Structure 1
Amino acid sequence: MKVLWPVVLALVVWLSLPLSAQSETSQKQADVLFQEGYTLYQQYYSPNAFGKFKQAAQLGHAEAAYYAGNILRRNHTYITEEAEQFYRQAAEGGDVYAMLRLAQKGNFCGTLQNCDYDREEWLDRAFYAALPRAKAGDTGAMMALSSAYAIKGDRTADFEWVERAAENGHAFAQYWMAVMLDEQERGFYWTDSGRRADMLKWLKASAEQGFPKAMLKLALELRDGGQLEEARYWVERMGKTDYYDAILESGAAILFGPDAESLYGEGSGYGFAEPRPVEGAAILLALHRQTGKDAPLKMIEVYRDKLTPEIMAKAEARSKELLVDAPVIYYLPKFGI
C-alpha cells in the first residue's frame, strides 16, 4: 500500500489543478510525444513512431493522429477502419491533409472500395479550410491547397499554388517546383535551357534557405551541367546537414575526390583537386554510427586500398565529433507517400 501513496498524491495534486493548467500540461505532453514520434518517423522507425503518435493523439494532438493514420495506411496499402478513425480525429482537429486522405479515391479504400464516408464532402471541407488561409498568404495552406487541386484533377491550379508558395518563400515549395519542372515536365517552356534555368533558380532558393533535399539535387544538377565549382560548394554544405542521402553523397565525394571517376565512371566526380580521405571517411563513419546503415561502410570499402591504418585511426577520431547535435533523418513529405 505504501508504494501507491506517491501515485495517489500525484493524482490529488493533478486533480487540484485548474482545468486550464491540466489542459496545458496535456498539450505539452502531447507536443513532446509528437516530436519524438516525428523524429522516429523520419528515421523510418514507423512501429516505434506509431506508439508515440497514438499516445499524443489520445491527448488530443491532431497532427499526431494524422501520422498514426498514415503509418497504418502505409502498412496495409489502404485506409483501414483504425486508420480512418485517426484521420477523422485529425480532420476534425483541422488538419487539412487528413481531410485530403479521406478525399482520395483509387485503392486508398482497398480493393472493395468500401470506405464508409463521403469523399467529396471531405474534399470540399479541405478547400473550405485551406483556401481562405492560402489567399491570406499562408504558404503551408497554399501547399495543402495544391494537393487538394491535384486530387480534384486540376493540374493547372495544383502547379499554380505550388508556384505561389515558392514565390512567397516556402522552402519545400521551391524544391518541389524544381522537381515539377524537371522530373514531371510541368509548365510550358519554349526551350529546355529556359526550363533548366528556372529549375536551378528554385533549387538555389530552397538550398539557400537550408533545405537539404534541395542542396543534394542542386549539387547533382550542377555537377551534371559542368558547374563544378558551385557544385563543390553545395557538397561541402550538405555534408553538415541532418539529411541521410546528402551526408552520404558528401562523404563519398570528399573521400574519393578526383578518383570518383575511375571508380564510378566519367561525370561522377565534382572536380575536387585531391581526395580528402580522413574527412570523407570520418563523415561516413559518423553516418554509419548514427544510423546503422551499411551504405557508408560500403563507400569506405570501395576505397580501402588507399586507406592506411593511420588514416582510418584519424578518421575514427574525427568521426566522434560529427553528427552529434541532431538525429539523421530522411525528410519524408507529409502527404507525398
Structure 2
Amino acid sequence: MTQHSLFSQISSCVLCILCTFVAYAKEADDTAEKLFREGFVLYQQQSSARSLEKFKSAAELGHIEAAYYAGNIIRQDYTYITKESEHFYRQAAEGGDVYAMLRLGQNDSVCGILRDCAYDQDAWVDKALNTALPRAEAGDSEAMMELFSVYWQSGEKSEAFAWTKKAATHGNAFAQYWLAVGLLGEREMGFYWTKAGRREDILRWLRASAEHGYPKAMLKLALELRTLGEYQEAQHWVEEMGKTDYYDAILESGTAIMLGPNIATLYGERSDYGFAEARPVKGAALLLALHRQTNKDDPLEMIEDYQAYLTPEMMADAEALSKELLVDTPILHYLPKFGI
C-alpha cells in the first residue's frame, strides 16, 4: 500500500467519524429543543412538576434556557436557591443566559437559610451587564429587556426605564406591554404634565403591543377602552382575544360575546363592552372549547351563570361549534421568564 493510499484511508476514516459526531450532536440538539418546547408549554400551562422533568432532560443534553427554567422551578418550590437550583442556574449562566446570571446575583431570598453562596454574586451581575449591553447597543430588543432586569435589580430604575422604552421603540411587543402596564401604569414612571397625557401614552403602547399580536396587551387594552367608554375599539379587541392562545383573554372574550348587553345585569355596568346583542352560541362555544383544552372550571361557571338565557338548542349548537375552535391550540398563561 502506498503512503498516499494509506493517507487517503485515514482521512476517510477521520471524515466518517467527524460526520457521525456531527450527526449525533445535531440529533442531541434537536432532541433537547423538542424537550424544551414541550416543557415550556407545560410550564405556561402552570404544570411545573411535569415541565421540570422535560427541562432537566433538555438541560442534560446541553440546552441553556432549559437549565434556567429547571433552576427557576426548583427555586420557586423552596423560595430560595438550593444547591440543585444553583447547579442549573450556573449551567445556564455559563452558557450566556443573562437571567440566570441575575438569579445568581440576587441578594434576597437566595442561598438557603444560612446564605451559603459559594460564588461572587456581584460578579454575576457584572457579567449579566457585560453580556447584554453589547447586544442591546447593536439593536437587539431582547437584550434591551435583559438590561431592564439588570438595572432594575441593581436599583437603577431610570436606566431600566430607558432601556424598556428603547426596546418598545424597536418593536418588542412585550416591552411595549410592560412599558404601558408596568412602568407608565403601575409604577407611574416618566414625567407627564397631566394624567390624561400619561393615559394617552399607556393606550398608545398597549395598541402597539396588541397590534404586534401580544394577547396580554389585547386584554388590558380592551379593559382600558371599556373603562373609557370607547366601545367600538374595545369590541374589536374582544373579538381578537378569542383567536389567541392566552387563557385569560379567551375566557374574557367568550364571556363578553356570549352575554352581550346582558353582562351588565350579571356582573354590573362596568363590565359592559357595549355589544348591541348577545351571541350565546358563539360565546358558549368558545368557552366550551377553552374548557376542553384546559379542563378548568371557570369557562363552565360562566356558562352556568348565563344558563337562564341558554336554550337546549343553543347549547347543542354551541357544543357542535366548539369542536371547530381552539383545535390543537395549547392554552398558555404567559408567565414571565424572570418576574416570578
**TM-score, normalised by the number of residues in structure 2:** 0.93
What is the aligned partner in structure 2 of residue 4 from structure 1? none
What is the aligned partner in structure 2 of residue 158 from structure 1? 160
Q: Which runs of 5+ in 2 are unaligned?
A: 1-15
Cα distance, 1:70 vs structure 2: 0.6
Q: Show the 5 A alignment for 1:1-20.
A: 18-20=20-22
Cα distance, 1:202 vs structure 2: 0.3
Amino acid at match of 1:61: H
Name the CA distance, whole Å, in 1 between partners of 2:62 and 2:303: 46
Match of 1:237 among 235, 240, 243: 240
Match of 1:48 among 47, 50, 75: 50
Match of 2:271 among 268, 271, 276: 268
Amino acid at match of 1:264: Y
State which drifts further: 221-230 or 101-110: 101-110
What is the aligned partner in structure 2 of residue 149 from structure 1? 151
Name the CA distance, whole Å, in 2 between partners of 1:52 and 1:196: 42
Cα distance, 1:66 vs structure 2: 0.2
What is the aligned partner in structure 2 of residue 33 from structure 1? 35
Residue 62 of structure 2 aligns to a residue in which SS? coil
Match of 1:256 among 255, 259, 267: 259
What is the aligned partner in structure 1 of residue 106 from structure 2? 104
Q: 1:279 and 2:282 equivalent?
A: yes
**1:186-223 superposed Cα distances (whole Å, 9 cap, x missing partner):** 11111000000000000000000100000000000000
Cα distance, 1:18 vs structure 2: 2.1
Match of 1:208 among 194, 204, 211: 211
What is the aligned partner in structure 2 of residue 71 from structure 1? 73
**1:28-72 superposed Cα distances (whole Å, 9 cap, x missing partner):** 110111101001010011111011110100000000000000110
What is the aligned partner in structure 1 of residue 189 from structure 2? 186
Name the CA distance, whole Å, in 1 between partners of 2:83 and 2:139: 36
Q: 1:185 to 1:110 in 2, by over 3 A?
A: farther
Match of 1:83 among 82, 85, 89: 85
Amino acid at match of 1:286: A
Name the CA distance, whole Å, in 2 between partners of 1:269 and 1:112: 53
What is the aligned partner in structure 2 of residue 9 from structure 1? none
Name the CA distance, whole Å, in 2 between partners of 1:149 and 1:16: 44
Q: 1:123 and 2:125 equivalent?
A: yes
CA RMSD of aligned residues (A): 1.2
Amino acid at match of 1:154: E
Name the CA distance, whole Å, in 2 between partners of 1:271 and 1:234: 13
**TM-score, normalised by the number of residues in structure 1:** 0.94
Cα distance, 1:108 vs structure 2: 2.5
What is the aligned partner in structure 2 of residue 169 from structure 1? 171
What is the aligned partner in structure 1 of residue 9 from structure 2? none
Cα distance, 1:19 vs structure 2: 1.3
Cα distance, 1:141 vs structure 2: 0.4
What is the aligned partner in structure 1 of residue 325 from structure 2? 322
What is the aligned partner in structure 1 of residue 231 from structure 2? 228
Residue 300 of structure 1 aligns to a residue in which SS? helix
Cα distance, 1:17 vs structure 2: 5.4
Residue 270 of structure 1 aligns to a residue in which SS? coil
Cα distance, 1:272 vs structure 2: 0.4
Cα distance, 1:325 vs structure 2: 3.3
Aligned pairs, number: 324
Name the CA distance, whole Å, in 2 between partners of 1:178 and 1:315: 36
Cα distance, 1:266 vs structure 2: 1.5
Residue 110 of structure 2 aligns to a residue in which SS? helix
What is the aligned partner in structure 2 of residue 313 from structure 1? 316
Cα distance, 1:184 vs structure 2: 1.6
What is the aligned partner in structure 2 of residue 10 from structure 1? none
Residue 188 of structure 2 aligns to a residue in which SS? coil
Amino acid at match of 2:45: Q
Cα distance, 1:267 vs structure 2: 1.6
Q: Which runs of 5+ in 1 are unaligned?
A: 1-13
Cα distance, 1:15 vs structure 2: 8.1
**1:283-310 superposed Cα distances (whole Å, 9 cap, x missing partner):** 0000001001100000000000111111
Name the CA distance, whole Å, in 2 between partners of 1:110 and 1:136: 38
Name the CA distance, whole Å, in 1 between partners of 2:122 and 2:102: 10
Residue 159 of structure 1 aligns to a residue in which SS? helix
What is the aligned partner in structure 2 of residue 291 from structure 1? 294
